[in-house]
A and B are shown apart, each in its own frame.
Chain A
Amino acid sequence: MAEYLYNRTHEYLVKRNGEYAIGISEFAVQELGDITYVELPAAGAEFRRGEAFATVESVKAVSEVYAPVDMAIVSVNEELAGQPELVNEDPLGNGYFVVVNALDESQISGLMSLGDYEAMVKSGQ
Protein backbone atom coordinates (compact mmCIF):
# COMPACT_ATOMS: atom_id res chain seq x y z
CA MET A 1 0.00 0.00 0.00
CA ALA A 2 1.26 3.42 -0.93
CA GLU A 3 2.49 5.67 1.83
CA TYR A 4 0.57 8.79 2.84
CA LEU A 5 2.80 11.86 2.73
CA TYR A 6 1.90 15.07 4.54
CA ASN A 7 2.26 18.80 3.99
CA ARG A 8 2.86 21.28 6.81
CA THR A 9 -0.56 22.81 6.10
CA HIS A 10 -2.31 19.47 6.78
CA GLU A 11 -2.88 18.13 3.27
CA TYR A 12 -1.93 14.55 2.42
CA LEU A 13 -0.80 13.08 -0.88
CA VAL A 14 -0.87 9.38 -1.75
CA LYS A 15 0.04 7.54 -4.94
CA ARG A 16 -2.85 5.85 -6.74
CA ASN A 17 -2.42 4.18 -10.13
CA GLY A 18 0.47 6.38 -11.19
CA GLU A 19 -1.35 9.55 -10.14
CA TYR A 20 -1.74 11.19 -6.73
CA ALA A 21 -4.82 11.60 -4.57
CA ILE A 22 -4.87 14.64 -2.28
CA GLY A 23 -7.06 15.33 0.72
CA ILE A 24 -6.79 16.71 4.25
CA SER A 25 -5.42 14.89 7.27
CA GLU A 26 -7.42 13.29 10.07
CA PHE A 27 -6.00 15.92 12.40
CA ALA A 28 -7.26 18.73 10.13
CA VAL A 29 -10.71 17.15 10.02
CA GLN A 30 -10.84 16.97 13.81
CA GLU A 31 -9.82 20.60 14.03
CA LEU A 32 -12.45 21.74 11.54
CA GLY A 33 -15.37 19.77 12.93
CA ASP A 34 -18.45 19.10 10.80
CA ILE A 35 -17.67 19.90 7.19
CA THR A 36 -20.60 21.36 5.29
CA TYR A 37 -19.16 22.40 1.95
CA VAL A 38 -16.13 21.74 -0.22
CA GLU A 39 -15.27 23.91 -3.20
CA LEU A 40 -13.06 22.09 -5.70
CA PRO A 41 -11.18 23.29 -8.79
CA ALA A 42 -11.88 22.28 -12.39
CA ALA A 43 -10.09 19.36 -14.02
CA GLY A 44 -7.11 20.59 -15.97
CA ALA A 45 -6.37 23.50 -13.64
CA GLU A 46 -2.75 23.80 -12.52
CA PHE A 47 -1.49 24.98 -9.15
CA ARG A 48 1.96 25.79 -7.84
CA ARG A 49 3.11 24.38 -4.54
CA GLY A 50 1.58 26.48 -1.73
CA GLU A 51 -1.28 27.86 -3.80
CA ALA A 52 -4.84 27.42 -2.52
CA PHE A 53 -6.66 24.94 -4.77
CA ALA A 54 -9.79 24.22 -2.72
CA THR A 55 -11.87 25.68 0.10
CA VAL A 56 -13.47 23.73 2.89
CA GLU A 57 -16.27 25.10 5.03
CA SER A 58 -17.12 23.72 8.42
CA VAL A 59 -19.99 24.96 10.52
CA LYS A 60 -17.66 27.40 12.25
CA ALA A 61 -15.02 28.30 9.72
CA VAL A 62 -13.85 28.57 6.15
CA SER A 63 -10.36 27.26 5.35
CA GLU A 64 -8.17 27.11 2.28
CA VAL A 65 -6.56 23.89 1.13
CA TYR A 66 -3.08 24.27 -0.38
CA ALA A 67 -1.26 22.39 -3.13
CA PRO A 68 1.47 20.26 -1.52
CA VAL A 69 3.40 20.14 -4.84
CA ASP A 70 3.15 21.74 -8.27
CA MET A 71 0.23 19.87 -9.76
CA ALA A 72 -2.38 19.55 -12.52
CA ILE A 73 -5.89 18.43 -11.58
CA VAL A 74 -6.85 15.16 -13.29
CA SER A 75 -10.22 14.76 -11.59
CA VAL A 76 -12.09 15.91 -8.51
CA ASN A 77 -14.15 13.95 -6.00
CA GLU A 78 -17.64 14.74 -7.31
CA GLU A 79 -19.22 12.95 -4.34
CA LEU A 80 -18.22 15.80 -2.05
CA ALA A 81 -20.68 18.18 -3.71
CA GLY A 82 -23.62 16.23 -2.32
CA GLN A 83 -21.90 14.61 0.66
CA PRO A 84 -19.28 16.91 2.16
CA GLU A 85 -19.54 14.80 5.34
CA LEU A 86 -17.47 12.12 3.56
CA VAL A 87 -14.46 14.22 4.52
CA ASN A 88 -15.35 13.77 8.20
CA GLU A 89 -16.17 10.10 7.85
CA ASP A 90 -13.25 8.93 5.75
CA PRO A 91 -10.71 11.70 5.12
CA LEU A 92 -7.98 9.38 3.85
CA GLY A 93 -10.30 7.34 1.64
CA ASN A 94 -13.65 8.38 0.15
CA GLY A 95 -13.19 11.87 1.50
CA TYR A 96 -10.24 12.67 -0.81
CA PHE A 97 -10.45 16.01 -2.66
CA VAL A 98 -8.70 15.62 -6.01
CA VAL A 99 -6.53 13.37 -8.17
CA VAL A 100 -3.53 15.13 -9.71
CA ASN A 101 -0.43 14.73 -11.79
CA ALA A 102 2.66 15.97 -10.03
CA LEU A 103 4.47 18.41 -12.29
CA ASP A 104 7.78 18.11 -10.46
CA GLU A 105 8.24 14.68 -8.88
CA SER A 106 11.31 15.90 -7.03
CA GLN A 107 9.07 17.97 -4.70
CA ILE A 108 7.48 14.81 -3.30
CA SER A 109 10.56 14.02 -1.26
CA GLY A 110 10.01 17.33 0.57
CA LEU A 111 6.79 16.05 2.17
CA MET A 112 6.61 14.45 5.62
CA SER A 113 6.01 10.87 6.67
CA LEU A 114 3.03 10.21 8.95
CA GLY A 115 5.42 9.94 11.92
CA ASP A 116 7.05 13.31 11.20
CA TYR A 117 3.67 14.92 10.58
CA GLU A 118 2.28 13.61 13.86
CA ALA A 119 5.35 14.90 15.66
CA MET A 120 4.80 18.33 14.10
CA VAL A 121 1.15 18.37 15.16
CA LYS A 122 2.05 17.27 18.66
CA SER A 123 4.62 20.01 19.03
CA GLY A 124 1.85 22.47 18.21
CA GLN A 125 3.59 24.13 15.29
Chain B
Amino acid sequence: MDLQAKKLALYEQHVALGARMVDFAGFAMPVWYGNQGIIAEHMAVREGAGIFDLSHMGEIFFRGDRAHEFLQRVLCNDIRKIGNGSCQYTLLPTPEGGVVDDLLIYQTNPTSYFAVVNASNIAKDHTWFVRQNEEGGFGVEIANRSDEYSLIAVQGPKSEQVLSAAGFANVHCDLPFTFRRLKLKDVRVFLCATGYTGERGFELIVKNDGAAWLWEELMAAGSPLGMMPVGLGARDTLRLEAGMCLYGNDLDDTTSVLEADLGWTIGWDKEFIGKELLLRQQEEGLKRLLFGLTVDKKLGAPRHGARVFNPEGEDVGVVTSGGPSPYLGRGIAFCYLRPGLAEEGKELLAEIRGHRVPAMTARPPFVKHRLYNP
Protein backbone atom coordinates (compact mmCIF):
# COMPACT_ATOMS: atom_id res chain seq x y z
CA MET B 1 0.00 0.00 0.00
CA ASP B 2 0.95 3.63 -0.37
CA LEU B 3 3.09 4.56 2.59
CA GLN B 4 2.10 8.19 2.12
CA ALA B 5 -1.31 7.36 3.58
CA LYS B 6 -1.81 8.87 7.00
CA LYS B 7 -1.96 6.41 9.89
CA LEU B 8 -4.77 7.17 12.32
CA ALA B 9 -5.19 6.34 16.01
CA LEU B 10 -6.38 2.74 15.47
CA TYR B 11 -3.86 1.73 12.80
CA GLU B 12 -2.07 -0.79 15.03
CA GLN B 13 -5.36 -2.36 16.07
CA HIS B 14 -6.26 -3.01 12.43
CA VAL B 15 -2.88 -4.49 11.59
CA ALA B 16 -3.13 -6.79 14.63
CA LEU B 17 -6.54 -7.95 13.40
CA GLY B 18 -5.08 -8.86 10.01
CA ALA B 19 -6.74 -6.01 8.14
CA ARG B 20 -6.09 -5.39 4.50
CA MET B 21 -5.20 -1.71 4.57
CA VAL B 22 -5.79 0.67 1.67
CA ASP B 23 -5.24 4.33 1.03
CA PHE B 24 -8.66 5.96 1.22
CA ALA B 25 -8.65 9.72 0.65
CA GLY B 26 -5.09 9.84 1.98
CA PHE B 27 -5.78 7.77 5.11
CA ALA B 28 -4.62 4.20 5.76
CA MET B 29 -7.91 2.40 6.36
CA PRO B 30 -9.04 -1.23 6.65
CA VAL B 31 -11.03 -2.46 3.64
CA TRP B 32 -11.65 -5.89 5.18
CA TYR B 33 -10.13 -8.09 7.86
CA GLY B 34 -8.02 -11.23 7.48
CA ASN B 35 -10.08 -14.34 7.12
CA GLN B 36 -13.48 -12.67 7.35
CA GLY B 37 -14.01 -10.81 4.10
CA ILE B 38 -16.62 -8.28 3.04
CA ILE B 39 -19.59 -10.67 2.93
CA ALA B 40 -19.07 -12.06 6.44
CA GLU B 41 -18.56 -8.56 7.84
CA HIS B 42 -21.63 -7.29 6.03
CA MET B 43 -23.81 -10.11 7.37
CA ALA B 44 -22.47 -9.61 10.91
CA VAL B 45 -23.91 -6.08 10.84
CA ARG B 46 -27.28 -7.20 9.43
CA GLU B 47 -27.63 -10.11 11.87
CA GLY B 48 -25.59 -9.19 14.96
CA ALA B 49 -23.10 -6.39 15.27
CA GLY B 50 -20.07 -4.88 13.61
CA ILE B 51 -17.53 -2.30 14.74
CA PHE B 52 -16.07 0.22 12.30
CA ASP B 53 -13.18 2.65 12.53
CA LEU B 54 -14.33 5.80 10.77
CA SER B 55 -11.66 8.09 12.12
CA HIS B 56 -10.94 9.40 8.65
CA MET B 57 -14.23 11.33 8.78
CA GLY B 58 -13.89 15.02 9.54
CA GLU B 59 -15.20 17.04 12.49
CA ILE B 60 -15.76 20.76 12.02
CA PHE B 61 -17.02 22.87 14.95
CA PHE B 62 -19.07 26.07 14.83
CA ARG B 63 -19.52 28.49 17.67
CA GLY B 64 -21.03 31.94 17.89
CA ASP B 65 -24.19 33.97 18.43
CA ARG B 66 -24.98 33.74 14.74
CA ALA B 67 -23.97 30.08 14.29
CA HIS B 68 -27.60 29.04 13.84
CA GLU B 69 -28.21 31.75 11.26
CA PHE B 70 -24.98 30.90 9.43
CA LEU B 71 -25.79 27.18 9.22
CA GLN B 72 -29.33 27.93 8.04
CA ARG B 73 -27.72 29.89 5.23
CA VAL B 74 -25.17 27.27 4.05
CA LEU B 75 -27.06 24.01 4.69
CA CYS B 76 -30.19 23.03 2.79
CA ASN B 77 -31.98 21.25 5.61
CA ASP B 78 -33.78 23.34 8.23
CA ILE B 79 -32.05 23.05 11.58
CA ARG B 80 -35.16 24.41 13.27
CA LYS B 81 -36.38 20.80 12.92
CA ILE B 82 -33.85 19.66 15.52
CA GLY B 83 -33.04 20.73 19.04
CA ASN B 84 -30.14 20.45 21.47
CA GLY B 85 -28.73 16.93 21.46
CA SER B 86 -30.06 16.11 18.00
CA CYS B 87 -28.47 15.87 14.61
CA GLN B 88 -29.66 15.97 11.05
CA TYR B 89 -28.64 14.73 7.61
CA THR B 90 -28.08 17.72 5.38
CA LEU B 91 -26.09 18.98 2.40
CA LEU B 92 -24.04 21.98 1.30
CA PRO B 93 -25.55 23.04 -2.04
CA THR B 94 -23.76 25.37 -4.44
CA PRO B 95 -25.46 28.24 -6.27
CA GLU B 96 -24.71 26.41 -9.55
CA GLY B 97 -26.79 23.38 -8.59
CA GLY B 98 -24.08 21.08 -7.28
CA VAL B 99 -23.24 19.79 -3.83
CA VAL B 100 -20.05 20.57 -1.88
CA ASP B 101 -20.68 17.67 0.52
CA ASP B 102 -23.31 15.79 2.47
CA LEU B 103 -22.93 15.66 6.23
CA LEU B 104 -24.52 15.34 9.65
CA ILE B 105 -24.92 18.53 11.65
CA TYR B 106 -25.10 18.17 15.45
CA GLN B 107 -26.63 20.85 17.68
CA THR B 108 -25.09 21.11 21.12
CA ASN B 109 -27.00 24.35 21.70
CA PRO B 110 -28.14 27.19 19.41
CA THR B 111 -24.70 28.79 19.52
CA SER B 112 -22.64 25.60 19.26
CA TYR B 113 -22.70 22.95 16.55
CA PHE B 114 -20.42 20.44 14.89
CA ALA B 115 -20.50 18.68 11.55
CA VAL B 116 -19.23 15.21 10.65
CA VAL B 117 -18.10 15.37 7.04
CA ASN B 118 -16.66 13.06 4.40
CA ALA B 119 -12.94 12.33 4.68
CA SER B 120 -12.30 13.27 1.06
CA ASN B 121 -13.94 16.67 1.53
CA ILE B 122 -12.56 17.93 4.85
CA ALA B 123 -10.39 20.70 3.42
CA LYS B 124 -12.91 21.63 0.73
CA ASP B 125 -15.78 21.89 3.24
CA HIS B 126 -13.72 23.90 5.70
CA THR B 127 -12.73 26.36 2.98
CA TRP B 128 -16.36 26.63 1.86
CA PHE B 129 -17.62 27.27 5.41
CA VAL B 130 -14.93 29.88 6.07
CA ARG B 131 -15.62 31.67 2.80
CA GLN B 132 -19.39 31.83 3.33
CA ASN B 133 -18.85 32.95 6.91
CA GLU B 134 -16.62 35.81 5.76
CA GLU B 135 -18.78 36.82 2.81
CA GLY B 136 -21.91 36.87 4.94
CA GLY B 137 -20.17 38.56 7.86
CA PHE B 138 -21.56 36.03 10.36
CA GLY B 139 -18.53 36.11 12.63
CA VAL B 140 -18.85 32.44 13.50
CA GLU B 141 -15.82 30.70 14.96
CA ILE B 142 -15.13 27.72 12.68
CA ALA B 143 -12.61 25.09 13.74
CA ASN B 144 -11.58 22.06 11.73
CA ARG B 145 -10.67 19.61 14.48
CA SER B 146 -10.64 16.48 12.31
CA ASP B 147 -7.10 15.63 13.41
CA GLU B 148 -8.10 15.58 17.08
CA TYR B 149 -11.00 13.14 16.92
CA SER B 150 -11.55 9.48 16.17
CA LEU B 151 -14.89 7.98 15.25
CA ILE B 152 -15.91 4.41 16.05
CA ALA B 153 -19.25 2.99 14.93
CA VAL B 154 -21.06 -0.02 16.36
CA GLN B 155 -23.88 -1.08 14.06
CA GLY B 156 -26.39 -3.91 13.97
CA PRO B 157 -29.30 -5.30 16.01
CA LYS B 158 -26.97 -6.23 18.90
CA SER B 159 -25.41 -2.77 19.16
CA GLU B 160 -27.09 -1.91 22.47
CA GLN B 161 -26.00 -5.23 23.97
CA VAL B 162 -22.42 -4.50 22.95
CA LEU B 163 -22.42 -1.04 24.50
CA SER B 164 -24.08 -2.27 27.67
CA ALA B 165 -21.49 -5.03 27.98
CA ALA B 166 -18.78 -2.41 27.53
CA GLY B 167 -20.09 -0.51 30.55
CA PHE B 168 -22.33 2.16 29.04
CA ALA B 169 -25.38 2.64 31.26
CA ASN B 170 -28.94 3.02 29.93
CA VAL B 171 -27.98 2.96 26.28
CA HIS B 172 -30.54 2.62 23.56
CA CYS B 173 -30.93 3.85 20.02
CA ASP B 174 -34.70 4.19 19.97
CA LEU B 175 -34.27 7.84 19.11
CA PRO B 176 -32.24 7.91 15.90
CA PHE B 177 -30.37 11.15 15.21
CA THR B 178 -29.90 12.05 18.85
CA PHE B 179 -26.66 12.21 20.79
CA ARG B 180 -25.38 12.80 24.27
CA ARG B 181 -22.04 13.52 25.86
CA LEU B 182 -20.93 11.15 28.55
CA LYS B 183 -17.88 9.70 30.21
CA LEU B 184 -16.88 6.04 30.14
CA LYS B 185 -14.20 5.62 32.80
CA ASP B 186 -12.30 8.84 32.24
CA VAL B 187 -12.84 9.08 28.53
CA ARG B 188 -15.30 11.64 27.16
CA VAL B 189 -17.50 10.28 24.39
CA PHE B 190 -20.10 11.80 22.09
CA LEU B 191 -22.53 8.87 21.84
CA CYS B 192 -24.67 9.32 18.75
CA ALA B 193 -27.59 7.14 17.61
CA THR B 194 -26.55 7.44 14.00
CA GLY B 195 -25.12 5.24 11.27
CA TYR B 196 -24.70 4.45 7.61
CA THR B 197 -26.06 0.91 7.45
CA GLY B 198 -29.84 1.09 7.95
CA GLU B 199 -29.47 -0.88 11.20
CA ARG B 200 -29.76 0.22 14.81
CA GLY B 201 -26.45 1.42 16.09
CA PHE B 202 -24.18 4.08 17.42
CA GLU B 203 -21.35 6.30 16.36
CA LEU B 204 -18.91 7.24 19.09
CA ILE B 205 -16.77 10.33 18.69
CA VAL B 206 -13.77 10.43 20.97
CA LYS B 207 -10.47 12.29 21.26
CA ASN B 208 -7.61 10.37 19.63
CA ASP B 209 -5.91 9.55 22.91
CA GLY B 210 -8.96 7.62 24.09
CA ALA B 211 -9.67 5.84 20.81
CA ALA B 212 -7.53 2.72 21.23
CA TRP B 213 -8.82 2.15 24.76
CA LEU B 214 -12.44 2.55 23.65
CA TRP B 215 -11.93 0.26 20.64
CA GLU B 216 -10.41 -2.46 22.84
CA GLU B 217 -13.23 -2.16 25.40
CA LEU B 218 -15.86 -2.44 22.69
CA MET B 219 -14.03 -5.34 21.02
CA ALA B 220 -13.76 -7.20 24.33
CA ALA B 221 -17.47 -6.62 25.02
CA GLY B 222 -18.63 -7.38 21.50
CA SER B 223 -16.55 -10.37 20.47
CA PRO B 224 -18.44 -12.83 22.75
CA LEU B 225 -21.64 -11.53 21.11
CA GLY B 226 -20.29 -12.34 17.66
CA MET B 227 -19.42 -8.75 16.78
CA MET B 228 -16.86 -8.44 13.98
CA PRO B 229 -14.58 -5.60 12.98
CA VAL B 230 -15.89 -4.28 9.67
CA GLY B 231 -13.87 -2.56 6.96
CA LEU B 232 -14.74 0.07 4.39
CA GLY B 233 -15.67 -2.63 1.86
CA ALA B 234 -18.72 -3.74 3.83
CA ARG B 235 -19.44 -0.15 4.83
CA ASP B 236 -19.98 0.52 1.14
CA THR B 237 -22.17 -2.54 0.49
CA LEU B 238 -24.23 -1.82 3.63
CA ARG B 239 -24.90 1.81 2.73
CA LEU B 240 -25.76 0.86 -0.85
CA GLU B 241 -28.33 -1.72 0.33
CA ALA B 242 -29.69 0.94 2.70
CA GLY B 243 -30.05 3.35 -0.23
CA MET B 244 -27.71 5.97 1.18
CA CYS B 245 -25.70 8.21 -1.13
CA LEU B 246 -21.92 8.24 -1.25
CA TYR B 247 -20.32 11.57 -2.06
CA GLY B 248 -17.97 11.19 -5.03
CA ASN B 249 -20.19 8.49 -6.55
CA ASP B 250 -23.85 9.45 -6.25
CA LEU B 251 -23.31 13.08 -5.30
CA ASP B 252 -20.75 15.59 -6.50
CA ASP B 253 -20.21 19.18 -7.64
CA THR B 254 -22.56 18.59 -10.59
CA THR B 255 -25.50 16.76 -9.00
CA SER B 256 -28.26 18.76 -7.39
CA VAL B 257 -30.03 17.88 -4.15
CA LEU B 258 -33.24 17.32 -6.11
CA GLU B 259 -31.59 15.15 -8.75
CA ALA B 260 -30.16 12.99 -5.98
CA ASP B 261 -33.75 12.47 -4.77
CA LEU B 262 -32.89 14.21 -1.52
CA GLY B 263 -35.68 16.78 -1.81
CA TRP B 264 -36.86 15.74 1.67
CA THR B 265 -33.77 17.45 3.09
CA ILE B 266 -34.68 20.83 1.61
CA GLY B 267 -35.99 23.46 3.99
CA TRP B 268 -38.13 25.43 1.54
CA ASP B 269 -39.30 27.78 4.30
CA LYS B 270 -35.91 29.43 4.69
CA GLU B 271 -33.29 31.11 2.52
CA PHE B 272 -30.10 29.19 1.77
CA ILE B 273 -27.30 29.13 -0.78
CA GLY B 274 -28.42 27.27 -3.88
CA LYS B 275 -32.16 27.60 -3.17
CA GLU B 276 -32.82 29.68 -6.27
CA LEU B 277 -31.49 27.03 -8.61
CA LEU B 278 -33.35 24.25 -6.79
CA LEU B 279 -36.59 26.23 -7.09
CA ARG B 280 -35.98 26.65 -10.80
CA GLN B 281 -35.24 22.92 -11.21
CA GLN B 282 -38.45 22.13 -9.38
CA GLU B 283 -40.45 24.40 -11.68
CA GLU B 284 -38.81 23.36 -14.92
CA GLY B 285 -38.57 19.66 -14.09
CA LEU B 286 -35.47 17.53 -13.64
CA LYS B 287 -33.38 16.09 -16.43
CA ARG B 288 -32.30 13.10 -14.34
CA LEU B 289 -33.15 11.47 -11.04
CA LEU B 290 -31.22 9.10 -8.81
CA PHE B 291 -32.99 5.74 -8.58
CA GLY B 292 -32.22 2.06 -8.11
CA LEU B 293 -31.66 -0.98 -10.32
CA THR B 294 -31.52 -4.67 -9.50
CA VAL B 295 -29.97 -7.41 -11.62
CA ASP B 296 -30.28 -11.19 -11.32
CA LYS B 297 -27.37 -12.78 -9.46
CA LYS B 298 -26.53 -15.02 -12.43
CA LEU B 299 -25.75 -11.93 -14.53
CA GLY B 300 -23.30 -10.28 -12.12
CA ALA B 301 -23.60 -6.70 -10.90
CA PRO B 302 -23.56 -3.31 -12.61
CA ARG B 303 -20.66 -1.11 -11.48
CA HIS B 304 -19.90 2.60 -11.22
CA GLY B 305 -19.92 4.16 -14.70
CA ALA B 306 -22.02 1.48 -16.42
CA ARG B 307 -24.53 2.86 -18.94
CA VAL B 308 -28.22 2.04 -18.72
CA PHE B 309 -30.44 1.56 -21.79
CA ASN B 310 -34.16 1.25 -22.42
CA PRO B 311 -35.49 -1.76 -24.41
CA GLU B 312 -35.31 0.36 -27.58
CA GLY B 313 -31.57 0.70 -27.05
CA GLU B 314 -31.49 4.38 -26.10
CA ASP B 315 -28.99 5.46 -23.47
CA VAL B 316 -31.19 6.52 -20.53
CA GLY B 317 -28.78 6.77 -17.63
CA VAL B 318 -25.62 5.83 -15.80
CA VAL B 319 -24.78 3.76 -12.73
CA THR B 320 -23.10 5.75 -9.95
CA SER B 321 -22.68 2.97 -7.35
CA GLY B 322 -23.20 -0.72 -7.90
CA GLY B 323 -22.20 -4.17 -6.79
CA PRO B 324 -23.44 -7.46 -5.44
CA SER B 325 -25.79 -7.21 -2.47
CA PRO B 326 -24.64 -9.73 0.16
CA TYR B 327 -28.02 -9.64 1.92
CA LEU B 328 -30.27 -9.91 -1.13
CA GLY B 329 -28.01 -12.05 -3.26
CA ARG B 330 -28.39 -9.99 -6.43
CA GLY B 331 -26.78 -7.06 -8.13
CA ILE B 332 -27.95 -3.63 -6.94
CA ALA B 333 -27.08 -0.15 -8.13
CA PHE B 334 -27.80 3.53 -7.80
CA CYS B 335 -28.21 5.19 -11.19
CA TYR B 336 -29.19 8.53 -12.63
CA LEU B 337 -32.15 7.92 -14.94
CA ARG B 338 -34.47 9.98 -17.09
CA PRO B 339 -37.10 11.05 -14.55
CA GLY B 340 -39.93 9.19 -16.33
CA LEU B 341 -38.12 5.90 -15.75
CA ALA B 342 -37.59 6.48 -12.04
CA GLU B 343 -40.42 4.28 -10.84
CA GLU B 344 -40.64 0.69 -9.66
CA GLY B 345 -40.62 -2.24 -12.05
CA LYS B 346 -39.40 -0.72 -15.32
CA GLU B 347 -37.48 -3.22 -17.46
CA LEU B 348 -34.18 -1.74 -18.62
CA LEU B 349 -30.75 -2.97 -19.68
CA ALA B 350 -27.54 -2.33 -17.79
CA GLU B 351 -24.04 -2.75 -19.08
CA ILE B 352 -22.10 -5.46 -17.25
CA ARG B 353 -18.65 -6.49 -18.47
CA GLY B 354 -19.46 -5.08 -21.90
CA HIS B 355 -22.81 -6.90 -22.27
CA ARG B 356 -26.26 -5.39 -21.91
CA VAL B 357 -28.19 -7.46 -19.40
CA PRO B 358 -31.78 -7.17 -18.11
CA ALA B 359 -32.18 -4.89 -15.11
CA MET B 360 -35.27 -3.84 -13.17
CA THR B 361 -35.79 -0.43 -11.63
CA ALA B 362 -36.35 -0.38 -7.85
CA ARG B 363 -36.84 2.38 -5.33
CA PRO B 364 -34.00 2.52 -2.79
CA PRO B 365 -33.53 1.46 -0.04
CA PHE B 366 -32.99 -2.06 -1.33
CA VAL B 367 -32.98 -3.36 2.24
CA LYS B 368 -35.52 -1.82 4.59
CA HIS B 369 -34.11 0.22 7.46
CA ARG B 370 -34.58 -1.35 10.87
CA LEU B 371 -33.88 1.57 13.18
CA TYR B 372 -36.79 0.79 15.50
CA ASN B 373 -37.43 -2.37 17.49
CA PRO B 374 -40.18 -4.50 15.94
Residue pair A62, B38 in contact (C-beta under 8 Å):
no
Complex CA gap A37/B295 in Å reads 13
Residue of B nearest to A88 (CB): B37
Residue pair B300, A59 in contact (C-beta under 8 Å):
no
Complex CA gap A34/B236 in Å reads 14
Complex CA gap A55/B301 in Å reads 12
Residue pair A59, B326 in contact (C-beta under 8 Å):
yes
Complex CA gap A60/B324 in Å reads 9
Residue pair A37, B324 in contact (C-beta under 8 Å):
yes
Can you list, as one digit per residue, whether each of A20-58 has a CB less than 8 Å from chain B (1) or not (0)? 000000000000011011010000000000000001011
- In chain A, residues 77-105, which have Cβ atoms closer than 8 Å to a Cβ of chain B? 81, 88
Give the A-B pair count, Cβ closer than 8 A.
Answer: 41
Residue of A nearest to B326 (CB): A59
Residue pair A60, B301 in contact (C-beta under 8 Å):
no
Please report the total number of B residues contacting A with Cβ < 8 Å: 19
Residue pair B38, A33 in contact (C-beta under 8 Å):
yes
Interface centre among B32, B39, B303, by most chain A C-beta atoms within 10 angstroms, is: B39
With both chains docked as a complex, state the minimum distance between the C-beta of B120 and any C-beta of chain A, in angstroms. Answer: 17
Residue pair A57, B38 in contact (C-beta under 8 Å):
no
Chain B residues whose C-beta falls within 8 Å of the C-beta of A33 in the assembled complex: 20, 31-32, 37-38, 233
Chain A residues whose C-beta falls within 8 Å of the C-beta of B31 in the assembled complex: 33, 60
With both chains docked as a complex, state the minimum distance between the C-beta of B358 and any C-beta of chain A, in angstroms. Answer: 15
Residue pair A59, B353 in contact (C-beta under 8 Å):
no
Residue of B nearest to A36 (CB): B324
For residue B321, CB closer than 8 A to chain A, the reply is: no
The answer, among B20, B298, B323, for a CB contact under 8 Å with A59, is B323
Chain A residues whose C-beta falls within 8 Å of the C-beta of B326 in the assembled complex: 59
With both chains docked as a complex, state the minimum distance between the C-beta of B366 and any C-beta of chain A, in angstroms. Answer: 15
Chain A residues whose C-beta falls within 8 Å of the C-beta of B37 in the assembled complex: 33-34, 88
- In chain B, residues 213-240, which have Cβ atoms closer than 8 Å to a Cβ of chain A? 233, 236-237
Complex CA gap A119/B140 in Å reads 58
Contact status of A59 and B39, CB under 8 A, knowing A33-B32, A36-B324, A81-B298: yes
Can you list, as one digit per residue, whether each of B22-64 has a CB less than 8 Å from chain A (1) or not (0)? 0000000001100001111000000000000000000000000
Chain B residues whose C-beta falls within 8 Å of the C-beta of A55 in the assembled complex: 353
Complex CA gap A34/B39 in Å reads 7
Contact status of A37 and B301, CB under 8 A, knowing A59-B237, A60-B233, A60-B323: yes
Residue pair B300, A57 in contact (C-beta under 8 Å):
yes
- In chain B, residues 277-294, which have Cβ atoms closer than 8 Å to a Cβ of chain A? none
Residue pair B301, A36 in contact (C-beta under 8 Å):
yes
Chain B residues whose C-beta falls within 8 Å of the C-beta of A34 in the assembled complex: 37-40
Chain A residues whose C-beta falls within 8 Å of the C-beta of B236 in the assembled complex: 60
Contact status of A59 and B233, CB under 8 A, knowing A33-B37, A36-B324, A37-B324: yes
Residue pair B353, A39 in contact (C-beta under 8 Å):
yes
Residue pair B303, A62 in contact (C-beta under 8 Å):
yes
Can you list, as one digit per residue, whether each of B316-329 has a CB less than 8 Å from chain A (1) or not (0)? 00000001101000
Chain B residues whose C-beta falls within 8 Å of the C-beta of A57 in the assembled complex: 300-301, 324
With both chains docked as a complex, state the minimum distance between the C-beta of A117 and any C-beta of chain B, in angstroms. Answer: 20
Residue of A nearest to B40 (CB): A34
Complex CA gap A60/B323 in Å reads 7
Chain B residues whose C-beta falls within 8 Å of the C-beta of A60 in the assembled complex: 31, 38, 233, 236, 323
Complex CA gap A62/B20 in Å reads 18
Chain A residues whose C-beta falls within 8 Å of the C-beta of B298 in the assembled complex: 81
**What are 18 of the A-B contact pairs (CB < 8 Å)?**
A33-B20, A33-B31, A33-B32, A33-B37, A33-B38, A34-B37, A34-B38, A36-B39, A36-B301, A37-B297, A39-B353, A57-B301, A59-B39, A59-B326, A60-B38, A60-B233, A60-B236, A60-B323
Residues of A whose CB lies within 8 Å of any CB of B are 33-34, 36-37, 39, 55, 57-60, 62, 81, 88
Sample of 20 further A-B pairs with CB below 8 A, known A34-B40, A37-B301, A59-B326? A33-B20, A33-B31, A33-B32, A33-B38, A34-B37, A34-B38, A34-B39, A37-B324, A39-B300, A39-B353, A57-B324, A58-B38, A59-B323, A59-B324, A60-B31, A60-B236, A60-B323, A62-B303, A62-B353, A88-B37
